[in-house]
Structure 1
Amino acid sequence: MRDASGGGDGIDDVTGRHSDHGGTSLDPRALEKARSRLRNIDKAIRELDAGGTFEAFTDAWFSFLTAYKSIYTALEQGAKVSPQSRQWFGSKSSERRADELLQYLYQARNDEEHGLENATKAVPGRATLEIVVPDSLQIDLSNVVFDGNTARLPNGDMAKVIENIPPHVILIPVQDRGRNEYRPPTAHLGKSIQDASPLGVARLAQSYMVRMAYEAEQLIAGDNRASADHKEE
């Protein structure tokens, strides 16, 4: 264990290895790992936005969930070096448990890891057209060309588009090990979610995790400022 003064090289309380983070409020290695996972999140979101097959989408979603939870894991371990950082991370954990979006994603990662179901579901597209169709005309919608509010039928006629929803992916309820269910989020930080798609939810989480990493950085920066002030004295 680290000596009571907290000075000099000590034994890391998390890994049992010697470390040189001294008496800092947060182990800097945790911040570096969090930054790495933020890069993973950014890459996963770009892959989610790229479209492609449902299989590719679910792979990117899993990568996003893994990086998301890994940030919590890294900062939790890094916060064990001081009462100040433990208190900070405790507040972040409480905020996660109380927030629909943050808690859903956290449990979705656990469900993906320990369960057999995916946290996403592919929904087929559908279209509603306003057309006059002779009894003898058969329409194969796969051959209909949509252009905004109009659609060109296979026989060349034009029709008005009442509704056109392309194929898309939605979030579905997940469960924890105690079989408690967590439904897809509708709110985040006290505000209604306007885009509840997996991509929309991932972008909101990305913004939150960037701010969380910034707060962790400020803990370390505060230590550095305090150390500089002490030297000046």
Structure 2
Amino acid sequence: MKQKGFRKAHDEIADAKQAARRMASAGSLDEAEREWRVFLEHFARMFNKLHLACRDDPRAFPWYGRKKHEREQDETLVYLLQARHSNEHSLDDITEQAPSFLSIGAAGEEVIIRELRIDGKGNLSGAVSGKPKVTITKGPAKLKLLPVTNRGVTYQPPKEELVAELEATPWRICETAIAYAEQLLQEASQFLDK
């Protein structure tokens, strides 16, 4: 395997990591959305560089073929590739900005709000009562992954592995993808030219 191609693949994952970190600490959803798109580009480019590094090596190329097949079968890796393609080759949105929310009670419950205060940090206080006991739920604004369609095929965002109903966040997917890529590059290093 060509050292130069391996280094470039490694650099792409380093850039993808940086984009993921910037996304996680973004000051706005617009900024997080931009970094998600940057992450997708670098993650896809890592595979392209690895392919170029392996293609003329009779030891590395069969290994790369197996990894390419793995990428085509894994729900998260397929979604990442297709989201990148959709972002690059269409005008469709790949994310949606879900606003923050405040929920008081449940549908059909009686709720009496005597006083409700929300301070500058989003903390709630006040006098709320109802039957049965009233619950107050608040949630932050978040970036939601959308299904993406390429060539007439729609790809759903992957679900969290442990809780199937829970949608995966871009940050969690980045963590999973980066861990996979680091393992992939570790395996690839066995084929480096001496």
TM-score (norm 2): 0.84
> Hey, what does 1:12 align to over in structure 2?
none
CA distance in 1, matches of 2:112, 2:70: 56
Corresponding residue to 1:182 among 155, 168, 171: 155
CA distance in 2, matches of 1:77, 1:192: 37
Deviation for aligned residue 1:187: 6.0
CA distance in 2, matches of 1:38, 1:77: 16
Q: Are positions 1:172 and 2:127 aligned together?
A: no
Offset from partner CA, 1:166-221 (integer Å, 9 cap, x none): 11111111122x12111001267xx767771011011100000011111111211x
Contact 1:31 1:75 in 2 (8 A): yes
CA distance in 2, matches of 1:129, 1:28: 59
Corresponding residue to 1:209 among 173, 176, 181: 181
CA distance in 2, matches of 1:63, 1:104: 15
Gaps of 5+ in 1: 1-25, 225-233
Corresponding residue to 1:124 among 65, 78, 99: 99
Specify the SS of the correspondent of 1:117: coil
User: 1:36-55 alignment to 2 at 5 Å?
Assistant: 36-55=11-30
Amino acid at match of 1:132: I
Amino acid at match of 1:215: E
Q: Does the C-alpha gap of structure 1 residues 187 and 76 become closer, same or farther in structure 2, counting only changes over 3 Å?
A: farther
CA distance in 2, matches of 1:106, 1:39: 18
Deviation for aligned residue 1:132: 2.1
Q: Are positions 1:144 and 2:118 aligned together?
A: yes
CA distance in 2, matches of 1:127, 1:55: 22
Give the structure, 1 or 2, with the largest relative contact order (CA under 8 Å, sep 6 or more).
2
Total equivalences in the alignment: 181
Amino acid at match of 1:170: K
Deviation for aligned residue 1:58: 1.4
Contact 2:19 2:39 in 1 (8 A): yes
Q: Does the C-alpha gap of structure 1 residues 173 and 195 become closer, same or farther in structure 2, counting only changes over 3 Å?
A: closer
CA distance in 2, matches of 1:57, 1:38: 18
> Hey, what does 1:22 align to over in structure 2?
none
Deviation for aligned residue 1:29: 1.0
Report sequence identity in percent: 24
Contact 1:119 1:174 in 2 (8 A): yes
Specify the SS of the correspondent of 2:30: helix
Deviation for aligned residue 1:91: 0.6
Cα RMSD between the aligned structures? 2.2
